[in-house]
Amino acid sequence: MSRFVTLSRRHALALLGVGVGGGGLLWHTRAGPEGDLGPETRPAATDAHLEELIRGNTAFATSLLRQFADDEPNANVLFSPVSIAAALAMARAGAREETANQLTETLEFPPEEDLHPAVGALLYDLNERAENAATPGVVDRIRGGREFELFVATALWGQDGYPYREEFLETLESNYRTGLRNVDFVGDHDGARGEVNEWVEEATDGRIDELLPAESVTEDTRLVVTNAVALFADWAEAFDPDDTRERTFTALDGSTDEVQMMSQTEDFPYAHGEDYQAIELPYVGEDVSMVIVVPRPSEAAPDADGTREAFESFEADLDADRIAGIFDALEKREAMIQLPRFEFDVEFELAAVLGDLGMPDPFDPERANFEGVAPTEAGSDDLFLFDVYHEAYVSVNEEGTEAIAATGFSGGLESGPLTVTADRPFLFFVRDRPTDAILFLGRVVDAESAQ
C-alpha cells in the first residue's frame, strides 16, 4: 500500500501502524478524533520515569535511523519515534516472558510498572501543547492568528466476545484512554475493516480513505489499534517567499541539483562543533521546534566525497548522548538559515528491522507470548505480531507563515551573521522542547526528489 498525502500549511505528519495476522493482533495507527486524544488526566509518572522513557526512545530512534541508512543509504527517511513507542508500549502491556524482555530491551523501555504511566503522561503533555499555543499575541490576533495543532490519538477495536484480560484493557484505558470497541472480525471481517477505515477517513478529513486494505483484516484478526502523532504548525518566525531562491544541493551520492532554498536571518538557537552546525526553528507557541543538523566535512576534504564521509560518520556515531549534547548547546545568536523546501512520504514494514535490532520473538508464531492480552486457553488463538507498518509524511515550506513578516536583517552588519546552509545532506528533529521528546526524526540526503 503506497500513498502520497498532500497537506498544505502543515509541516509534519506521522502515521504509524503495527500489523498482526494469522490469529494475532492487528495494530494500525492514524490520526484520531477528539474523543480519542489520550488520557483526560495526567497519569502519575515521575519526572525521572518520563526522562527515562524519552532517553530510551531517543536511543532506539538512532538505532532505527542507522538501520534505515544501511538499507537505503541514498534515500530520504522520516519516522516518529514517539508514535512507534506509544504503539509498541501497548503491545508490551500484553507481552510476557522473553517476548516482553525483547520489546523492553529493543525499544529501551523503562520497567513495566513505570512504562505505561510514563507514556500516558507524555501523550497528555503533548496534547496540552496546542492549548498552550492557542492564546496568540497581539500581532497574531490582529492578523487572524496562526496555526499550531499537535495531537496524539488512539482507538482500539476488538473481537466481540473474545476473552481479553481485564488487566490488559484497564492498563490501556487508564494510561492511554483507549476503550475497547466491539466488532465482529470472525463473522464480518470486511465490515469491521470498514468501521476502522471510516474512523480513519473521518479523522483525516477524507485524506486517507482506506487505511486497511482488504487482505489486512481476516477472520483470524482479534485486535486493531489505531494511533497517530500529528503536528500542524506555522513557524514562529516566517520565511518570506520572496527570499526563496534556486540554489545547488549536493546529494549524498555526489549528484547536484538546483532546489528551492528558503532563507531568513533572525535570532535563532544555534550550536556548532568540529563536525556539525545546528539551528533550531521554533513553531508557534515555541514549545515545539525543528532542529536542523548539518554535518560538515573537514577543511582538508570539502568536496562531495568528503561531504558524504562526514555525513555518514556523523550519522553512524549519533546516539542519545550526542543528541542531548546538541540540544543543550543551543544558544540564541543572530544567524542566517538557508533551508530547502522539502516534502516527502515514506512507508516502512518494520518486522525484519525490529527483529535485527533484537526482538524477533514477538513476530514468531511459535515463540511469541502475549498471554497478557488473552489466555492461551482460547485454543488456537495464540497471539503474535505479524508486522509493523510505519508511514510518515513531512512538508516544510513557507506556507502558513505569512501571517507575520520575516524580521531578519538583510544587511548593514560589518561581519554578517552566522550562516547555516543546508545545501548538502542534513538531519532534522521535530522536538518537544519541554521534554526533549523527538516527535519526528528525518534525514534529507536528496533534496531534489523531495521538491
Q: pLDDT of 334-351, one tens digit each?
A: 999 999 998 887 777 788
Residue 362 pLDDT grade (very low, low, confident, very high; cuts 50, 70, 90): confident
pLDDT at 145: 56
In a domain, 5, yes or no: no
Statement to judge: residues 155 and 297 lie in one domain: no
What is the structure's pLDDT at 348? 78
pLDDT tier at 16 (50, 70, 90 boundaries)? very low
**4 located within any domain:** no
pLDDT value for 13: 45
Same-domain check for residues 130 and 80: yes
Confidence (pLDDT) at 219: 79
Does the pLDDT at position 166 exceed 80? Answer: yes
Residue 353 pLDDT more than 70? yes
pLDDT of the residue at 365: 80
CATH number, domain at 95?
3.30.497.10
Q: Do both 141 and 279 map to the same domain?
A: no
Residue bearing the bigger pLDDT, 380 or 286: 286
Average pLDDT over residues 10-32: 35
94 in the same domain as 138? yes
Please tell me whether residues 312 and 351 are part of one structural domain.
no
Q: How many domains does the chain have?
A: 2
The whole-number average pLDDT for the span 128-137 is 70
What confidence tier does 134 reach under pLDDT thresholds 50, 70, 90?
low
Which of 29-33, 119-123, 151-155, 225-229 shows the lowest mean pLDDT across its residues? 29-33
Give me the amino acid identity at 388. Answer: V
The verdict on residue 400 lying in a domain is no
- Of 368, 395, 422, the last residue of a domain is 395
Find which of 72-86, 236-250, 309-323 is predicted with most confidence, using mean pLDDT: 309-323
CA–CA gap between residue 230 and residue 19 (Å, rounded) = 20
In this predicted structure, the answer to whether residue 14 has a pLDDT above a threshold of 70 is no
Using the structure block, give the residue that is written with the C-alpha cell 512538508: 395
Instruction: Tell me the sheet residues that pair with 13.
Output: 230, 393
Please provide the average confidence, as pLDDT, over all residues in the chain: 80
Considering the domain architecture, whether residues 421 and 349 belong to the same structural domain is answered as no
Residue 194, pLDDT above cutoff 50: yes
- Here the CATH number for the domain that contains residue 304 is 2.30.39.10
- The residue that leads in pLDDT, 250 or 214, is 250
Instruction: Say what the pLDDT of residue 396 is.
Output: 83
Segment 91-123, tens digit of pLDDT: 899 999 999 999 999 999 999 999 999 999 999
Question: Do 39 and 65 share a domain, yes or no?
Answer: yes
211 and 173, same structural domain? yes
Listed range (24-33, 184-193, 281-290) with the worst mean pLDDT: 24-33
Q: Which of 47-56, 146-155, 421-430 is the least confident region?
A: 146-155
- Say if residue 293 is in the same domain as residue 169: no
**Shared-domain flag, residues 93 and 190:** yes
Q: Which of 295-299, 379-383, 416-420, 432-436 has the lowest mean pLDDT?
A: 379-383
Judgement on whether residues 347 and 336 belong to the same structural domain of the protein: no
Sign of CA dihedral 209, 214, 219, 221: negative
The boundaries of the domain holding residue 204 are 12-234+343-395
Average pLDDT over residues 240-262: 94
Same domain, 88 and 164: yes
Instruction: Identify the band that residue 2 occupies on the pLDDT scale cut at 50, 70 and 90.
Output: very low
Once rounded to an integer, what is the mean pLDDT over residues 392-407?
A: 47
CB burial string 168-180: b at 16+ within 10 A, e below? bbebbeebbbbeb
**Within a domain: 211:** yes
Percent of the chain with pLDDT over 90: 47
